[in-house]
Amino acid sequence: MGSQAAWRLAARGAEVVGYDRFAPGHDRSAAGGETRIFRSAHFEESRWVPLLKHADVLWEELQRETGRELRRLTGCLLMGPTEHRQMATVLESIAEHGLDHEVLDVDALAKRFPQYRLEEGEAAVLDRRAGFIRPELSVQTAARRAEELGARIRRYTEVKEIVPVGSGVEVRTDSCSERFDAVVVTVGPWVNDLLPDLPWEVEVRRLVSAWYTPTTEAWFGEERPAFIRTAPHHFYGLPSPDGVSVKIGLNRTLHRLIDGPDRLERTVQPEELEIFTELLGRFLPDLHPDPTRLSVYMEGYTESDRPLVGPLPGAGNENVILLAGFSGHGFKLSPAFGDIAADLALDGDSAQPIDFITTVGRITA
C-alpha cells in the first residue's frame, strides 16, 4: 500500500517522502512469498468489483510505465459446493458486471484440469481476468517508479510517531522530525503499535505458506490457473512462476492470532502441517505431501474483513490518512487503494466507490 500510494501521489506531482522500517520488497510482513492472487470476480461481495476494475487498470499502467511483468493473467478457479454462499456471490458478481468466465462441472474440470478434484454437488468457476501478481517485484517497482517521479524513500527508517501540528502533520523517527501537509499511514500489522489509540481492533494473524512439488505434469500444462476452494475449509493455491512447485495457503480462521508483529514465530511446527496434508490428500492428490518450503508472514485483520480506509477520526486528524486491516485481500487492490490514498491526501475525498468499506473518519469512534 505504501509503495503504491507513493507512486500515485508522485504521479500527480505531489512532493512525496516514504519511510520503511525495512526496504521496499522485503518479506518480513504481509507481502512475501512470490505470488498473490489477482481476480476480477469477488466471492465475498460484488460491490468490490469496481475497485478491482480500477486496480486492474492501474496494474496495467504500472506495467506499461516500467516495462516489468508484475502480473500474469493465468485465470483463477473458484471451486466448492454449488450451494455455497460464495459460489452464489461469485456468479452474481459475474452476471452483474459481465465478467469473462466459464463454469465447469465435475467432468469438465477433470478433463481440463485433472490436478484438481471436485466432489459430488461441486463445481468450478474459472475467472479469466485473474491470475498472479509478483508481490516483491511489484512493491519494488512501484517504489522505484515513485522515486523516478521525484519521491524520496527513507529505507530502514522506523517511524516512531505521527503528530498533527497546526494545519500539517509531523513524522518523527529516532533521528529526525519532518513536517508534511498530509500523511498516509500504511504500516500493515504494526498499526496498533504506531497508533495505539485506534478505536477499531486490528488483529494480527500469522500466515503459513507451504510449497509442494507436483507428482504429475498436469500442474504445469499450458493453462496454470490459481485456485480458491470454499469448503470444507477455505484454502487457495498458486502454481509457482518458476514451474517448480505449487504454493498453498489457508484462510483467516486457520491462522493463529499473535500478540504483535515483533513476536512473530517463524518456525512452523509439524502439527501445523496436518491440515495442509489433509486437504492435499482429499483435493490435490497430485502434490507430494511433504512441503519443500515453508514461510511465515503476517497480516492485520478487522472483524468484518473490510479494511480501515480514510482520515483518522478526531479534530486535527483530517490529514492523517489510514490504510490498514486488509484482512488477507489487499494485494490485488493495492494500486487502487494507493490511488484512493492520493485522492484523500490531496483532495480530501475520493470518487472511487468506497462508502461500503470502513471509511475511517466517517465513523464516530
Ligand X SMILES: Cc1cc2nc3c(=O)[nH]c(=O)nc-3n(C[C@H](O)[C@H](O)[C@H](O)COP(=O)(O)OP(=O)(O)OC[C@H]3O[C@@H](n4cnc5c(N)ncnc54)[C@H](O)[C@@H]3O)c2cc1C
> Which residues here bind ligand X, judged by CB under 6 A?
1-2, 19-22, 29-31, 33, 36-37, 158-159, 186-190, 194, 207, 209, 249, 297, 299, 326, 328-332
Q: Rank residues 189 and 313 by Cβ distance to ligand X and give the closer one.
A: 189
User: Which of 204, 202, 196 has the alpha carbon at shortest distance from 309?
Assistant: 202
Read off the DSSP letter of residue 267: P
Contacts of 299 (CB under 8 A, 6+ apart): 29, 30, 188, 189, 204, 205, 207, 255, 326, 327, 328, 330
Of 167 and 258, which CB lies nearer to ligand X in the complex structure?
A: 258
Least CB distance to ligand X at residue 80 (A):
17
> Minimum distance from CB of 1 to ligand X (Å)?
3
Q: Which is nearer to ligand X, 219 or 301 (CB)?
A: 301
Show the cell assigned to 168. Answer: 500539517
Task: With CA atoms as reference, report the closest residue to 247 among 290, 286, 212, 282.
Answer: 212
Instruction: Tell me how far apart the alpha carbons of residues 355 and 220 are, in angstroms, rounded to a whole number.
Output: 41
Give min distance, CB of 154 to ligand X, in A. Answer: 8
Q: From the CB of 300, what's the least distance to ligand X, in Å?
A: 7
Angle at 347 between CA 44 and CA 151, to 5 degrees: 90
| Cell matching residue 277 | 496434508
Which CB sits closer to ligand X, 83 or 265? 265
Q: In whole angstroms, how close is the CB of 108 to ligand X at the nearest point?
A: 25
CB of 268 to ligand X, least distance (A): 13
Q: Which is nearer to ligand X, 123 or 308 (CB)?
A: 308
> In this complex, which beta carbon is closest to ligand X, that of residue 31 or of residue 62?
31
Contact 77, 116 (CB under 8 A): yes
Distance, in Å, from the CA atom of 294 to the CA atom of 33, rounded to the nearest integer, reads 10
